[in-house]
Structure 1
Amino acid sequence: MSGKPVASGATPFEAPPETQVRQVRDALLREFGELIDISDLANKPPNEREQSLLSRALAALAVRDLTGCESAAAAEAVIDGRDDIGIDAVATDESASHLWLVQSKWSDKGRARFELADALKFIEGLRYVDARKFDRFNIRFQNLADQVAAVLSNPGSKITLVTAVMRTDPLARDVVQRLSDAQDEFNQLGNILDQRSYLARDIWEVVRNDFTEPPIALTVRMQDYVKITEPYEAFQGLVSVADIAAWYDDHEDRLFDRNIRKPLGITQVNQGLIDTLADEPHNFWFFNNGITLLCDTLAPDYFSRATRSPVALKLDGASVVNGAQTVHAIHRASRKDAAAIGDGYVTVRVISLTNCPAGFADAVTTATNTQNRVERRDFVALDPVQRAIREDFLLSLQKTYTVKRGEPEPSPESGCSVEVAATALACAYRNSDFAVRSKRGIDLLWEQGTQGAYQLLFNAQDRPSAHQVWRSVLVLREIDATLHRTAKSRQARAEAIVERGDRLIAHIVFQALDLDGIDEPDTDWDAVLTQVPNAVERATAWLVHHVDAEFGQSSLVSSTLADPDRCRTLAGLVLADLKRGVPVPDLPLEYRIVKIPKQQRRPNAVPTLIDARVLADGTPLTYRAAGRPEREAMAAWLAEDPSRGSATWVNQRVRPVLWAADGKRYSPSGLVQEMWRLAGWSKAPVAAQGPSRWYVSGGKSLWALARETLASLSDDPDEDA
């Protein structure tokens, strides 16, 4: 499974032209579909009506981009129709000093025609406007005539001819020449007329920018500073922690857009920063590595160069690339007691990217991230391929794709994380090796190098599209849901095979399904998803059969399904049987007959996880209510402050859960009971099974992880009997 080759005219890190056209089309219909008047086209065929709607919406998009008006106002500027005299939209500014005349052409293929006749008609419309022959135009123009007249009556006004043409090739030379001749003619007595052209990529950038936050402007007040001018401009000095808290108040997590990860919440390191600020703010500088800021431009404002007094650095396009945890800890401390941190200072380094070579920003980000433990997946956030996929998710699907560690996991219907995407792509890959690796640990999917999983799953020259990634995720979710739904029909060795081989089963199902249209937006993916349950059940039965037939009923399930060679063999055998369509073998009776299980002592989750070092310090935990009464009782209280449902793991046997809401440590059950108390749940149970309510990324509870850990460490021969 891989994305389509990148077409000419696009870098490997942005959507190819045909995808850009589709993304623009979707955006025009979404934004202007209910706003553009096409009542005059009621008798036209549906396809012709839609093409006219898109052309008019394109004119409205240009108006909105040029004037900054709302979409409804831009739609009102469209006059396209009978007697438009080559003008599709008319717009003016609030000061009646600028008039824009727009002609637009749409093509679903990105090959719209704008010929000499179109240019001549456009110029004819301009002449009628200049001569105040408004009566020649249709009623839509008449509604705007007073605004047009006001601009023309203004001695300092300007007129801009705007062409918005959905085509990748430049306009023809004779068209450009005629428009230039008109400009020269009108400008004989002054600079009155100019031109603006939107081609396919320009139009796509307008749509893309709708999803892009403006760059951050920041003022950094620095004292005891050092200035560096070569080879690049930079400042380093002391900044008040109160100022840094204000940065976060104003911009929140957007401060870290260039960073490899978002703030990780309350970790032991970060809680230590908060405690130092609260108890010993004067020592904060000694205990902290500082903050590194990158910016697009830097303008120093010196109070006095002679006395080395403080400097105010005015930054555009500012981003914290190292020290996100420090900034977040400062902000949390300031919320608790702003006055107490007033004596605190931190070292801040500001580097201007003006005149820096390409790749310098990413190199600085990579080199400076050392204070909290950096994982291999953190550096994935620097990969332009991931940025392109995230952008594709927004433009093509209107969904969220999170890349940085610390970003909240999107809800299942609103998007996915890079971890979920990588797992799905690993299962969908043409051989089973990556599916096996994903079962052993997600970290194995971030391996770089020519044979590394990451390079092959997210190849820069053949990157997966948003549709491919999202649909792969949907298939994997349906596979997992089917395995969960059918789990009660299996026991003993069959249960162990499915539990250990769920990712191998997913790989087999991906290969068995017809996924040829996975990249095509118009593919009916619901129809594909309906095939998944049957494919899962057949693949599961055949896998259990072949594990026993090929390697014997006494073979160890865990080692068999962790061996890449054996998994390749099993995948080939199962796929061959699925392709032949032969009847699925029945599970042996001992795999299906429900036995009375041996009474086992409920495992103690905390020591089990700590002894096996299953979770790293700082692993994010999310609270999930167990059952409807608890969900209803806790929902409003949790919604008031999202940090109430978040915590991090600390490898301490006593109170290993660090709650984000107060920075204190609890046992899993103790924290749940405290949350019930604070939420005022009067009908809460007397006791709480806390480990079953705290979940790690990937959807497993502490309780489920403890059970898996015990099973993997067990020497009980009955496991694989």
Structure 2
Amino acid sequence: MPPRDEKIVQIEAALRNRFFPNVPKIIKQGRENWTEEQHDLDRLSRSLAAYALASQCELDDTTATGAITDGSNDGGIDALYFDRIGNRLVFVQAKYKKTGAAPTQADILKTINGVKALQARQFDRFNEAIRNRLDEIEDALDMAGVKLELLLTFLGDEVGSHVTTDLNAFRDELNRFSPVMTWYTTGLEQIYAWLVAEQAPATVDDQITLENWAGTTAPRKAFYGQISAAALAQLVEDHGKALFERNIRHYLGSVGVNTAIERTVRSRPGDFFYLNNGITAVAEAITPAPGNNLKCAFGLKNLSIVNGAQTAGAITIATLAGDISPDAKVLITIIEIGNDVDDIGRKITSARNYQNVVRGVDFAALDPNQERLRQELKVAGITYFYRSSAEARVRRDDTFTLEEAAVAMACMAFKVRASAELLQQPKPINAIDFVVAAKKEIGRLWEQGGTLYGQLFPAGLSGVRVCRSVRMYRFIDRILAGTEQSETGYHRRMFFRHGRYFIMAFVALRSADIINRPQLELVPADITLLSQRTNELSELIYAVTVPQQAFKGYLAMFRNLTDAQPLANSVLQRLAEQDAQQQAMQPATLPAQGT
């Protein structure tokens, strides 16, 4: 799980993306001289109120935003909603403070008095946002058995003792004759859990019809037979990517063999069954209807196609040109895996996909840690493609792939070590090992059975850290690529072409202050410092390499550990000398004079 400050970063990004377009700045009485920063925090508080209401009452964002009542004369009520299905009137008091401060006793007493005023029908005390909803409020107050719920939402963990005492006294007062009122809090952990849970992929529960089928029950239940290509395409259209949640790849688009599949299913439908490998699917439970072996319907719980995403995708694309002949059939195998306690689903996915041409990076999709990172990043509006797909090829500022993340982490996540440090036990992680691997055998970075992948993507790695590393990597790479293009000398051009990963490792070494900030974006101060450090370190490293130019080219120098590590030792020594000189140039602190 990410640390507290990174959770707040993701929550803020989600609130800005989802609610700010409909939560404008408002000028409250007595706050006409607020700064833009104060107005920004006010909008975040109102957005938090809307989100808490949306999550608690299962509302869409637009409806939740419309329930905001925060403003002058709001009676301490930031949002309210009459949940007619749940027969409850929900009041929200929200505080968006990064310190985690909860609503104060004064805040809560104001809210309590506001609820009491509504109960007493003293509506003239309230602002227009509340008066516009009097029909809704009065309907709730006149409804027998309605419950009043007071929700406190903030970025901390618990409210103060005085707040608890006041709220309990108010609750007890209303509950003298029957349980009418309750109050509860949603702090940072609950808010973050809601946001992440929203990003979990949907499960697919559906029914398909198999023709000419057979089955087995031991050692586990499985069925195989023919499914019509048209029915398969409809399944994909109905469920989209959720249908391929256990697959190592999504549909890669109309490229290569996929184009041939599209053409064959349309032009030779009767032969398609014989020319295609078919697909494999797993399901938590399979329930056959009382059909016969010629044709039978099967109910499938939590269905996922684990092999054959390209076939299914290509057939679906082919339907765009018109209806597919009913003669087009596809072989499908469906295996029941239950709750997958023995990880059989992953094993089936891995084994069945080894039969086709796939890249090593595709199997990283079987790591549940990658799905966790995707969900975390999606909370903040960042799309992380850890499965190959057609969409993943389009590079945008708010998207990146597993491959790019792996290279960025290899260059930015570890400390450059001198040879003497590497003699320690246990041996410390060394950035040079990773940048050499990225230059020489980049596939080792995402090799599931290798030693590097687990260090690049440990269980504790946060989405914010990955995103920040990718953005730093992209920025530095643009600087170094631009420098390479501008160089006219052969040696310098080759240095900037082949030494980029090595240079980045040293920029990261000198930029812990930037790397460790819990922010998604690089602010102007970060960009200035990174640009300056990249240029300075590039020149320093180049100067260290000059004596080696006569003996070895830069490609060999940066892709072999036997050359790169001694070079790193020399650069570290040069940096230490540079730091010592700068420290010596600083004025000494004068001792205090005695009396």
The interval holding the TM-score normalised by the smaller chain is 0.7 to 0.9
Deviations 1:223-245 (A, max 9, x none): 45567778877654432211011
Using a 3 Å threshold, how does the CA distance of structure 1 residues 558 and 454 change in structure 2: closer, same or farther?
same
**Deviation (angstroms), 1:580:** 4.6
Q: Does 1:222 align with 2:210?
A: yes
Q: 2:236 is matched by which residue type in structure 1? A: Y
CA distance in 2, matches of 1:127, 1:233: 61
Which residue does 1:566 correspond to in 2?
Answer: 563
CA distance in 2, matches of 1:27, 1:463: 16
Secondary structure of 2:248's aligned partner: coil
Using a 3 Å threshold, how does the CA distance of structure 1 residues 55 and 333 change in structure 2: closer, same or farther?
closer
Query: What pairs up with 1:374-393 in 2 under 5 angstroms?
Result: 374-393=358-377
CA distance in 1, matches of 2:533, 2:109: 61
Would you say the 8 A contact 1:38–1:53 is kept in 2?
no
Which residue does 1:187 correspond to in 2?
Answer: 178
Would you say the 8 A contact 1:427–1:435 is kept in 2?
yes
**Deviation (angstroms), 1:452:** 1.9
- Identical amino acids, percent of aligned pairs: 26
CA distance in 2, matches of 1:86, 1:231: 62
**Deviation (angstroms), 1:359:** 4.8
Using a 3 Å threshold, how does the CA distance of structure 1 residues 307 and 44 change in structure 2: closer, same or farther?
same
CA distance in 2, matches of 1:366, 1:174: 57
CA distance in 2, matches of 1:334, 1:215: 24
Q: 2:406 is matched by which residue type in structure 1? A: A
Deviations 1:362-404 (A, max 9, x none): 44433332342232211222323333333343334x3332221
Secondary structure of 1:62's aligned partner: helix
**Deviation (angstroms), 1:177:** 5.5
Q: Does 1:90 align with 2:60?
A: no
Which residue does 1:660 correspond to in 2?
Answer: none
Q: Does 1:26 align with 2:13?
A: yes
CA distance in 1, matches of 2:401, 2:104: 42
Would you say the 8 A contact 2:280–2:305 is kept in 1?
yes
Which residue does 1:471 correspond to in 2?
Answer: 471
Would you say the 8 A contact 2:212–2:293 is kept in 1?
no
Query: What pairs up with 1:364-513 in 2 under 5 angstroms?
Result: 364-396=348-380, 398-407=381-390, 408-428=392-412, 429-430=414-415, 431-448=431-448, 452-462=451-461, 465-487=465-487, 489-491=488-490, 493-511=491-509, 513=510
**Deviation (angstroms), 1:454:** 1.6
CA distance in 1, matches of 2:343, 2:167: 37
Q: Which has the higher contact order (CA 8 A, sep 6+)?
A: 2
**Deviation (angstroms), 1:55:** 3.1
CA distance in 1, matches of 2:255, 2:533: 43
CA distance in 2, matches of 1:248, 1:536: 47
CA distance in 1, matches of 2:470, 2:117: 51
Query: What pairs up with 1:649-664 in 2 under 5 angstroms?
Result: none
**Deviation (angstroms), 1:510:** 3.6
Query: What pairs up with 1:301-700 in 2 under 5 angstroms?
Result: 302=289, 304=290, 310-313=296-299, 315=301, 317-336=302-321, 338-340=323-325, 342-349=327-334, 351=336, 353=338, 355-357=339-341, 359=343, 361-396=345-380, 398-407=381-390, 408-428=392-412, 429-430=414-415, 431-448=431-448, 452-462=451-461, 465-487=465-487, 489-491=488-490, 493-511=491-509, 513-521=510-518, 525-531=523-529, 535-536=533-534, 539-549=537-547, 551=548, 553-577=550-574, 580=577
**Deviation (angstroms), 1:349:** 0.7
Deviations 1:530-550 (A, max 9, x none): 45556555555555554452x
192-201 vs 472-481, which moves further: 192-201
Q: Does 1:262 align with 2:250?
A: yes
Secondary structure of 1:520's aligned partner: coil
Query: What pairs up with 1:277-296 in 2 under 5 angstroms?
Result: 277-278=265-266, 280-295=268-283
Deviations 1:192-223 (A, max 9, x none): 65666433222223434565665445332334
**Deviation (angstroms), 1:23:** 2.1
Would you say the 8 A contact 1:290–1:347 is kept in 2?
yes
**Deviation (angstroms), 1:494:** 4.4
CA distance in 2, matches of 1:212, 1:32: 21
CA distance in 2, matches of 1:462, 1:242: 42
CA distance in 2, matches of 1:518, 1:130: 53
Q: 1:357 is matched by which residue type in structure 2? A: V
Would you say the 8 A contact 2:273–2:330 is kept in 1?
yes
TM-score under structure 2 length normalisation: 0.78
Secondary structure of 1:100's aligned partner: strand
CA distance in 1, matches of 2:549, 2:117: 88
CA distance in 1, matches of 2:147, 2:325: 57
**Deviation (angstroms), 1:71:** 4.2
Q: Does 1:109 align with 2:107?
A: no
**Deviation (angstroms), 1:443:** 0.5
Would you say the 8 A contact 1:105–1:114 is kept in 2?
no
CA distance in 2, matches of 1:205, 1:153: 35
Would you say the 8 A contact 2:484–2:492 is kept in 1?
no
**Deviation (angstroms), 1:306:** 7.9
Q: 2:453 is matched by which residue type in structure 1? A: Y
CA distance in 2, matches of 1:205, 1:427: 31
Which residue does 2:46 correspond to in 1?
Answer: 56
CA distance in 1, matches of 2:183, 2:384: 38
Deviations 1:336-360 (A, max 9, x none): 563435341322415365x432855
CA distance in 2, matches of 1:25, 1:292: 41
CA distance in 2, matches of 1:358, 1:119: 50
Would you say the 8 A contact 1:105–1:113 is kept in 2?
yes
Deviations 1:52-83 (A, max 9, x none): 44333322222333455554543442334565
Using a 3 Å threshold, how does the CA distance of structure 1 residues 484 and 376 change in structure 2: closer, same or farther?
same
CA distance in 2, matches of 1:269, 1:436: 34
Deviations 1:488-529 (A, max 9, x none): x212x4444443434333334443x43322231468643343
40-49 vs 102-111, which moves further: 40-49
Which residue does 1:198 correspond to in 2?
Answer: 186
